Structure 1
Amino acid sequence: MDHSQNPQVLRAPRVRPGDRVRIVAPASPPSREEVARGVELLTSWGLRVELGEHVFDQWGYMAGRDEDRVFDLNAAFRDPGVRAVIAARGGKGAYRIVDDLDTDALRRDPKPVVGFSDITHLHLAVWSRCRLAGLHGPFAKSRDTYTGPASAESLRRALMTTDPVTLHRDASEATADVAVDGTATGILMGGNLSAIRTEAGAGLPSLRGAILFLEHQRGTGLGEVDRALTQLTRSGALDGLRGVALGQFLGFDRDADDPTLGGWGIRDVLHDRLAALGVPVLGGLPAGHGSHPPTIPLGTPATLDTAGGTLTVQPAVV
Structure 2
Amino acid sequence: MPGPPILTSPPKASPGDRVAVLSPSFAAPGFAPAVHEQAMARLADLTGLTPVEYPTTRRLGASARDRAADLNSAFADPEMRAVLATIGGEDQITVVPHLDPTLILSDPKPFLGYSDNTNLLCWLWTHGVAGFYGGSTQVHLGPGPHVDEVHARSLRAALLTGERLEVTDPDESEDVGRDWLDPRALHEFGDREATEPWEWAGPPKSVTGRTWGGCIDVLQWILTAGRFPADPSVLSGGILLLETSEELIPATEFGWIVRSLGERGLLEAVDAVVVARPPASSLEVRPTKQACAAHRQEQRDVAIETIGRYNPDAVVVVGVPFGHTRPQWILPYGGSMTVDGVSRRIWADYA
Q: How many corresponding residue pairs? A: 304
- Aligned counterparts of 1:58 and 1:83: Cα–Cα separation in 2: 25
The one-character-per-residue Cα deviations of 1:83-140 (angstroms, maximum 9, x if unpaired) are 11110111212121122222221111010011111111111110101x2111112222
Gaps in structure 1 of 5+ consecutive residues: none
Q: Tell whether 2:212 aligns with 1:184.
A: no
Identify if the C-alpha distance between structure 1 residues 123 and 142 changes in structure 2 by more than 3 Å, giving closer, same or farther.
Answer: closer
Task: Tell me if the contact between 1:287 and 1:293 (Cα under 8 Å) persists in the aligned partners.
Answer: yes
Task: Tell me if the contact between 1:178 and 1:267 (Cα under 8 Å) persists in the aligned partners.
Answer: no
Higher mean C-alpha displacement, 138-147 vs 186-195:
138-147
Superposition map of 1:89-238 within 5 A: 89-129=87-127, 131-140=128-137, 142=141, 144-145=143-144, 148-150=147-149, 151-168=151-168, 173=195, 176-181=198-203, 182-201=205-224, 202-205=226-229, 206-217=234-245, 218-238=247-267
- Aligned counterparts of 1:16 and 1:287: Cα–Cα separation in 2: 25
SS of the counterpart of 2:255?
helix
Structure 1 vs Structure 2: percent identity of aligned residues? 26
Superposition map of 1:30-109 within 5 A: 30=28, 31-44=32-45, 45-59=47-61, 64-109=62-107
Q: 1:244 Cα shift?
A: 0.5
- Aligned counterparts of 1:126 and 1:105: Cα–Cα separation in 2: 11
Q: Which one has a larger percent helix, Structure 1 or Structure 2? A: 2
Equivalent in the alignment of 2:334: 299
Equivalent in the alignment of 1:284: 319
SS of the counterpart of 1:132?
coil
Task: Tell me if the contact between 1:245 and 1:282 (Cα under 8 Å) persists in the aligned partners.
Answer: yes
Equivalent in the alignment of 1:251: 280
The one-character-per-residue Cα deviations of 1:176-224 (angstroms, maximum 9, x if unpaired) are 2252233222111222111222212511343232100111135331122
SS of the counterpart of 2:82?
strand
TM-score (norm 1): 0.87
CA RMSD of aligned residues (A): 2.5
Higher mean C-alpha displacement, 19-28 vs 189-198:
189-198
Q: 1:175 Cα shift?
A: 7.8
- Aligned counterparts of 2:263 and 2:123: Cα–Cα separation in 1: 22
Equivalent in the alignment of 2:181: none
Q: 1:282 Cα shift?
A: 1.7
- Aligned counterparts of 1:175 and 1:127: Cα–Cα separation in 2: 31
